[in-house]
């Protein structure tokens, strides 16, 4: 079977439609359909079937798509081995980050990678909802993602997940707040406070529910924002309290006091997501090694 046609089947399995596969591979939908028909003839059985207006994979197609991933991993591993023999991690690597970790981590990462000849790293930022992170790994070599501790929401997607750091989430209080002089606060201390929350469905929302359960009192959310700079400005103005990331927030305004929360796990996990074949490339592994090292330094600098 032709490796390129196998890769098309894999793209269809991951992207869910012929149109999306065509866009991702710079082909027309009819060209994709024709190549899939050729692959079906080579396989000797149907690999796709109609579902409404689109195509879905048959059980045989799903099995072959998984095999296509194994083939892609083997090919990338062979290329990486040859690059190691030549001591040549050159090439292009695309990296997607969400804004806060990008500002805190990527400048030092790019400074370190500037010493690697021939390695061209293209970074961009986006702040998608959590469920979109796995899909973006089909379009970028490395995707920096975040989630709350526990089961990863992208489990079962076949992605390689590399932990970078665990970031504590402190309670941001106005500098003149009654609790600002404490070394730490507990959920019971926060009963009756007005909170600045995040849009429904964002990861930090789970922590507000946990505070409610721990304190036994309903949390009053006054305003909701996705931008931490706005949240910090509202805290400084005395308009509420909020969870504030300890490592990636940058310089916190002088009118905001950060206090660790005791009695409730309050942290988020920041990881790198990659397709397993992409993760084999020497250029990608080189970038990943630097990401891990710089994240460890960043975590150490902000250790409580």
Q: How far is CA 195 from the centre of its chain?
A: 26
E-only strand ranges, the chain: 48-51, 54-57, 91-97, 119-125, 142-147, 160-174, 194-197, 220-224, 242-245, 256-259, 267-274
Residue 155, pLDDT score: 63
What region, left, alpha or beta, does residue 240 occupy, with left being phi > 0 and alpha being psi -120 to 50 degrees?
Answer: left
Parallel/antiparallel/unpaired status of strands 91-97 and 142-147? parallel
* pLDDT on residue 136: 87
CA distances to 76, 82, 84, 126, 285 from 280, rounded to whole Å, are 6, 12, 11, 25, 7
- Candidate ranges 47-51, 223-227, 291-295; pick with highest mean pLDDT: 291-295
pLDDT greater than 70 at residue 61: yes
Q: Name the strand (E) or helix (H) holding 253.
A: none
> Position of tokens 């190549």?
35
Structure tokens at 65: 């798509």
CA–CA distance, 164 with 180 (Å, rounded to integer): 31
User: Is residue 153 pLDDT above 70, yes or no?
Assistant: no
Ordered by where they begin, the domains of the chain are 3-81 (1.10.10.10), 89-165+269-301 (3.40.190.10), 167-266 (3.40.190.10)
**pLDDT tens-digit series, residues 243-276:** 999 988 878 889 999 999 998 889 989 999 998 8
Q: What is the pLDDT of residue 1?
A: 64
Calculated CA dihedral for residues 187, 212, 164, 15, nearest 10 degrees: -170
Digit-coded pLDDT (tens) for 228-245 = 899 999 999 999 999 999
Per residue in 88-110, is it b (16+ CB within 10 Å) or e — as a string?
ebebebbbbbbebbbebbbebbe
Distance CA 67, CA 33 (A): 20
- Average pLDDT of the residues of the chain: 85
| Range among 28-42, 54-68, 153-167, 275-289 rated most confident | 275-289
CB contact set of 96 (below 8 Å; sequence gap of 6+): 123, 124, 125, 126, 136, 139, 140, 142, 143, 144
For residues 29 and 12, give the distance between their C-alpha atoms in angstroms, rounded to a whole number: 11
Q: What is the percent of the chain with per-residue pLDDT over 90, rounded to a whole number?
A: 39
Using the predicted structure, report yes or no on whether residue 177 has a pLDDT greater than 90: yes
The CA distance from 256 to 118, in Å, is 44
Residue with tokens 């969400």: 98
Would you say residue 108 has pLDDT above 80?
Answer: yes
Question: What mean pLDDT is predicted for residues 47-74?
Answer: 78
Task: For residue 171, count other CB atoms closer than 10 A to its CB.
Answer: 27
- Which of the four pLDDT bands, split at 50, 70 and 90, describes residue 156? low
The sign one gets for the Cα dihedral 77, 139, 98, 123 is positive
pLDDT tier at 154, thresholds 50, 70, 90: low
Residue 222: is its pLDDT beyond 90? yes
Q: Is the pLDDT of residue 86 over 60?
A: no
């Amino acid at each position: 079977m032709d490796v390129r046609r196998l890769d098309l089947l894999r793209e269809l399995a991951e992207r869910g439609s012929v149109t999306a596969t065509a866009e991702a591979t710079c082909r027309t939908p009819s060209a994709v359909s024709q190549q899939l028909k050729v692959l079906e003839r080579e396989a000797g059985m149907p690999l796709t079937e109609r579902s409404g207006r689109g195509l879905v994979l048959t059980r045989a197609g799903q099995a072959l798509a998984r095999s296509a991933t194994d083939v892609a991993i083997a090919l990338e591993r062979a290329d990486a081995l040859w690059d190691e023999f030549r001591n040549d991690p050159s090439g292009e690597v695309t990296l997607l980050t969400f804004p806060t970790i990008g500002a805190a981590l990527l400048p030092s990462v790019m400074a370190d990678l500037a010493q690697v000849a021939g390695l061209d790293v293209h970074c961009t930022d986006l702040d998608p909802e959590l469920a979109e992170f796995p899909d973006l790994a089909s379009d970028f070599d490395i995707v920096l993602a975040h989630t709350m501790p526990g089961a990863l929401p992208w489990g079962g997607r076949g992605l390689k997940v590399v932990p970078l750091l665990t970031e504590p989430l402190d309670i941001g209080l106005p500098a003149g707040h009654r609790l600002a002089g404490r070394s730490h606060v507990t959920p019971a201390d926060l009963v009756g406070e007005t909170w600045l929350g995040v849009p429904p469905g964002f990861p930090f929302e789970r922590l507000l529910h946990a505070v409610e359960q721990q304190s036994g009192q309903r949390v009053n959310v006054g305003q909701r924002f996705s931008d931490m700079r706005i949240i910090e400005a509202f805290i400084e103005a005395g308009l509420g309290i909020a969870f504030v990331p300890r490592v990636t927030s940058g310089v916190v305004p002088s009118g905001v006091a950060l206090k660790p929360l005791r009695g409730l796990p309050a942290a988020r996990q920041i990881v790198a997501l990659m397709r397993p074949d992409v993760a084999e490339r020497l250029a990608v592994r080189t970038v990943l090694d630097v990401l891990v090292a710089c994240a460890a330094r960043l975590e150490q600098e902000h250790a409580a």
